[in-house]
Structure 1
Amino acid sequence: MSDDSSLQIPFPHRRSSHIPHAAALHRDWLHRHPLLPDADRTGYAHWEIVELAALGYPDAGPDDLALAADLMGFYFLFDDQFDGPLGRRPTEVAPICERLIAVLHGARADQRSPVETAFADLWNRSARGMPARWQARAAYNWEWYLASHPAEAAGRISTRPPDRAGYLALRRGTAAMETIFDMVERLGQFEVPPAVLHHPVLRQLRQLAADIPSLSNDVRSFPLEAPRGDVNNLVLIVQRERRCSAEEACAVVLDEAQIMVERCGELHAQLPEVYRELGLSRVEASIAQRYADGLLTWLAGYQHWESRTGRYHSV
């Protein structure tokens, strides 16, 4: 398969200057919540998780950047526990996820479970100081992410491969992008006015910015996922649709993602007119623009990280 799997991203990426501070705090966090076996620590270092946080949220303060790094680490390490035999046993995956969903709604974490203590810590730090409306939305998005994992496990043992609609329904849950975008507000200490947050233009922009990393990640991770029976990958779906090679399917998926990138730019350019049509105040428009810019900053930063990280490349 070709190594030319990078999208052309017209939006600039930026990097926080607080990486050393956040890296030290992230190491401490991993020690307090041992999600990672000692034998895996060297490999994890090559994933450059703090770098991803610094590229995704370049304007976050030092401690908030550490929170972002801890979140990134949790996503990857939580997902990776399902890569082996456990990921083919949905009846065992479901209780793990249900306990974390209960934590969202006030249950105490089991102190014997690093996954539960890590998640409780992340949720408490994320929600602290945020308005009730944001917390409700963020809790729903976390529940969506967590509750998608049993379905993903069931898909690995199903005789019914997903079609595009089924792929999108599940991938948009397991990708966790809505929770990642909620953190644009949390780390910026603002809340987007509901009228613009749910406006069709901004909703389309958010959905595209969420879907593009999933498509590019499907191409990057295809060589790892296909041998272990993961079916929720668009490369596999395109192969079936077109009866083509894996390399051809990867090219198709990247072409689709590139079109989506260009559409992001078009939608972003429409936002000032949306603000005027909604009658937003200067402050409200500024907040909405910070959020929209944050979506594209994340997209650009993620693509820069994904093309270099040791998680998908030999080191």
Structure 2
Amino acid sequence: MPRGIDLHIPFPRRISRDVDRARDQHLHWPRSHGLLDTEEAIRRHAGARYAELAARFYPDAVGDDLDLGVDLMSWFFLFDDMFDGPEGEDPTRAGALAESITRILGPPAAPSEAPVVQAFCDLWRRSCDGMSPQWRQRAAEHWRTYLSGYVVEARHRQRGLMPTVEEHLLLRRETIGVYPTVDLAERIGRFEVPEHVYADGRLTAMRHIAAEVDTIHNDLCSVEKEEARGEIHNLLLILERRRRCTRAEAVEEMRRMIRSRTERFLVLEAGLPGLCDSYRLTQPQRVSVHRFADSLRSAMRGDYDWAEQSGRYAPENIRREQETAS
């Protein structure tokens, strides 16, 4: 991310008190599933500090619950990096990989030798523990949409189609991974938002804001890497080309986009007591709604704080990856 950019993320920093323990052992799970098969892959994964990311997304989680969050973050980024290669350029290959994972979401789980699929099977099993059929159905649908988005992106790359700003934000809402991440916040926190309330337009708008804020921030962080490999799914690059603006102007526009969204989020959040009243929710249900809103806050603030210390976007690591690829 261009240095010295102050983004408007008006939520407090938070991190799990169990982060040190989680950090010390977070490589075990991806290694046990064959997702880190070289010393260089292990080094890069450790340097990205995914345990810290999970500890910020789930700041109240400890023990096994935090470990589940850490493993989810490991899987997300390892899966995403697969699309830097042939899968990301070929819709057929992208579709086959997505379909192999999608089959796990419905009974019975399909056996597969692919490590990324086996790892997801383990994540899905642990995520569903203790959750209602309604939650499982909703979470599965979010995963299906997330996976199908990678196929759409591969189709765009194959055809050389750079999306518009609006198309990009709509697609990246699905592929940024915020919806499955906050679904898991319910599982980790052992609460569920009633489905009729979850579908309310106000909560839907808050989810969209969180996904778009993380998308905009992620595109700022990853622009150097994505520009170098000719990526078309990056908001900064889209703004430069579509609106014929300078990089500084594009960055400033992205700052404005984040500010307007977080300010809107705060307005919507202030209306949650009224939303709960309108649905005549019980006290436990009201607590669930507010905890869900807090998980959206953590998704925005946690991503921002993590990126400051993660090696994933460090210029020297990006250059090393480029040299390795060439």
TM category (shorter chain) comes to over 0.9
Q: Is the 8 A contact 2:134 2:195 kept in 1?
A: no
Q: Is the 8 A contact 1:5 1:219 kept in 2?
A: no
Deviation at 1:218, TM superposition (A): 0.7
The aligned counterpart of 2:245 is 244
The whole-number CA distance in structure 2 between the counterparts of 1:45 and 1:189 is: 29
The two structures have a TM-score, normalised by structure 1, of 0.94
The aligned counterpart of 1:174 is 175
Letter in 1 for 2:33: H
For structure 2, the residue ranges without an aligned partner over 5 or more in a row are 317-326
Matches within 5 A, 1:70-85: 70-85=71-86
> Which digits, 9 at most, give the CA deviation of each residue in 1:66-111, with x for residues without a partner?
0100000100000101112332111111111101001111344545
1:122/1:244 CA distance change after superposition, 3 Å: same
The aligned counterpart of 2:323 is none
The whole-number CA distance in structure 1 between the counterparts of 2:185 and 2:214 is: 16
The aligned counterpart of 1:276 is 277
The question of 1:218 aligning with 2:219 is answered yes
1:183/1:240 CA distance change after superposition, 3 Å: same
Deviation at 1:314, TM superposition (A): 4.0
Sequence identity percentage: 37
Matches within 5 A, 1:11-90: 11-38=11-38, 39-90=40-91
> Which digits, 9 at most, give the CA deviation of each residue in 1:39-82, with x for residues without a partner?
22112111100000001101113101001000001000001011
> Which digits, 9 at most, give the CA deviation of each residue in 1:134-166, with x for residues without a partner?
000000001111111111111112133211232
Deviation at 1:24, TM superposition (A): 4.5
Matches within 5 A, 1:121-270: 121-270=122-271
C-alpha RMSD over aligned residues: 1.7
Q: Is the 8 A contact 2:17 2:62 kept in 1?
A: no
Q: Is the 8 A contact 1:51 1:305 kept in 2?
A: yes
Q: Is the 8 A contact 2:146 2:174 kept in 1?
A: yes
The question of 1:8 aligning with 2:11 is answered no
> Which digits, 9 at most, give the CA deviation of each residue in 1:237-260, with x for residues without a partner?
211332112232122112111211
Secondary structure class of the residue paired with 1:46:
helix
Report the more deviating stretch, 107-116 or 91-100.
107-116
The aligned counterpart of 1:290 is 291
Q: Is the 8 A contact 1:192 1:288 kept in 2?
A: yes
The two structures have a TM-score, normalised by structure 2, of 0.91
The whole-number CA distance in structure 2 between the counterparts of 1:200 and 1:113 is: 39
Q: Is the 8 A contact 1:22 1:63 kept in 2?
A: no
The whole-number CA distance in structure 2 between the counterparts of 1:290 and 1:2 is: 33
The whole-number CA distance in structure 2 between the counterparts of 1:20 and 1:253 is: 33
The whole-number CA distance in structure 1 between the counterparts of 2:127 and 2:303 is: 21
Letter in 1 for 2:35: L
1:113/1:233 CA distance change after superposition, 3 Å: same
The aligned counterpart of 2:102 is 101
Deviation at 1:2, TM superposition (A): 3.9
Q: Is the 8 A contact 2:185 2:292 kept in 1?
A: yes
Q: How many residue pairs get matched?
A: 315
1:92/1:256 CA distance change after superposition, 3 Å: same
The whole-number CA distance in structure 2 between the counterparts of 1:83 and 1:148 is: 15
The whole-number CA distance in structure 2 between the counterparts of 1:292 and 1:189 is: 15
Secondary structure class of the residue paired with 2:271:
helix
Q: Is the 8 A contact 2:36 2:42 kept in 1?
A: yes
The whole-number CA distance in structure 2 between the counterparts of 1:2 and 1:54 is: 25
